[in-house]
Amino acid sequence: MSGRISRRRFLSGAAAAVAAPYIIPGSALGKDGATAPSERIVVGCIGIHGRGFHDLRWMIGNEDVQIVAICDLWKQQREAVKTFVDDHYGNKDCKMYIDLREFLAERTDIDAVLIATGDHWHAQASVRAMRAGKDVYTEKPSCMTIAEGQAVVEAARRYGRVYQTGTQRLSEATHVFAIEMARTGRLGDVHTAYAHIAPWDSATMQHTWKPEEPLPPKDEIDWDIWLGSCPWRPFNKSYVSGGWRDDYDFHTSCIGEWGAHTFAQAQAGLDALNTSPIHYQYVDNDSGDGMECTFASGQKMILSRFDKYWHGSCGERFDGPRGWVGSADGYAMPEASSPDILAEYKKVVGEYVARTGRSLDHMRNFLDCVKSREEPVANAEVMHRSMTTVHAANICMWLKRDMHYDPVKEEFINDDEANRLRARAQREPWVI
């Protein structure tokens, strides 16, 4: 028989096709409360490991999100994420990628990315994704240096992208209340904020290498990509599985571990999210505990380790002439110097929501902004200014002397050695 189809056979088949009814599921049209495909945010994931799985579950629980791909240099993690996503949707559609460059170039259908790599990849992946036209939700700390923070801000601005860093406590009601009580003057003129830093590791960090282990095949773990812009060193699998903390090349110290959250929280209450302190007072210990960071307004933010001002982790507190208020993880209600301060809890939180229009769900705030193109609560500028405070405090500890910083020029004053530490050399080809 000839492989060609006669005109008569073609026309009869076409007629039958027109006559036959097409059954389209209501969910595909957005009926019965389902989100129509045209309204869904198409998402790709980059580097989803421990904390990343929490974020993945958080994001995939939103019906207007469709996750379509995972990019991870570790085969074990690629396959774990694919299985999770496919099981959620009941299909086998989640695609896997190893190289971020290939992933971003090929997937022009993706609107936004979820980034939960190791810390040293957060800014690198964010900048590359925004250059490729993607909106970004990334875990913290979101930059390794002041220069990386500047690159993130520039990319978001130049390419018109929505960017949210994972400082989720800026969207939690107990923290919002404490911040708003300080910001709106209900405590009087707040003179001091306290910000929690992690109670492990040191500010100086390690500069040594772990013992070399046999290099696995690239399909199993692409070590060159894992290192990214960091200096080359021999492979050791513990780095890939999270053993990079307290390592200078890959971490932002005990100050950045929690300060990436709490400095933004404290600066929000001081209404200083668009700036950074101008003076950092060196403290003679290994962590930065007790360091006073002074803003141009004269207000101070004091770094605090352990539980002097709160119980739980990642706390902030504000002191004013009318009392103090603070919050930390695990609080059902904020704590305050007087029960009278807490009496306005619902009112203050409600006023914040009415004024900003923001969800008290950090991921939802990001997704809403992807659609509206408004700035989310933890946007690139907020991230950069609070992370500048982290980096300046670290530099103060490394050089063991007070630091004076100009937040307008974004440079240390009359201190060439400190200014050189605003950036790190980047290994080719991972230069942003």
Q: What is the pLDDT of residues 268-294, one digit of tens each?
A: 999 999 999 999 999 999 999 999 999
The pLDDT tens digits for 376-413 are 999 999 999 999 999 999 999 999 999 999 999 999 99
pLDDT at 65 over 90: yes
Question: Tell me, what's the pLDDT at 38?
Answer: 76
Q: pLDDT band at residue 35, thresholds of 50, 70 and 90?
A: confident
Distances (CA, A) of 180 to 26, 32, 309, 318, 425: 44, 39, 18, 10, 40
The pLDDT tens digits for 207-263 are 999 999 999 999 999 999 999 999 999 999 999 999 999 999 999 999 999 999 999
Q: pLDDT band at residue 37, thresholds of 50, 70 and 90?
A: confident
Domain extents in the chain: 37-168, 169-204+251-420
Q: Average pLDDT, whole number, for the chain?
A: 93
Question: Tell me, what's the pLDDT at 30?
Answer: 54
Q: pLDDT band at residue 345, thresholds of 50, 70 and 90?
A: very high
Q: pLDDT band at residue 12, thresholds of 50, 70 and 90?
A: very low
Question: Tell me, what's the pLDDT at 22?
Answer: 41
Distances (CA, A) of 10 to 2, 3, 7: 14, 13, 5
pLDDT at 113 over 90: yes
Q: pLDDT band at residue 128, thresholds of 50, 70 and 90?
A: very high
Measured at the CA of 61, the angle between CA 59 and CA 62, to 5 degrees, comes to 75
pLDDT at 266 over 60: yes
Contact 275, 247 (CB under 8 A): no
What does pTM read for this prediction?
0.91
Same fold, 37-168 and 169-204+251-420: no
Overall average pLDDT of the 170-176 stretch: 98
Q: pLDDT band at residue 9, thresholds of 50, 70 and 90?
A: very low
CATH class for the domain made up of 37-168 = alpha beta
Contact 269, 319 (CB under 8 A): no
Contact 313, 328 (CB under 8 A): yes
In this structure, the number of other CB atoms found within 10 A of the CB of residue 302 comes to 20
pLDDT at 28 over 80: no
Distances (CA, A) of 346 to 180, 181, 360, 414: 12, 12, 13, 48
Q: Could you say which architecture CATH assigns to the domain 169-204+251-420? A: 2-Layer Sandwich (3.30)
- Could you give the CA distance from residue 170 to residue 266 in angstroms, rounded to a whole number? 10
For helices 345-356 and 173-183, what crossing angle results, to 10°?
Answer: 90
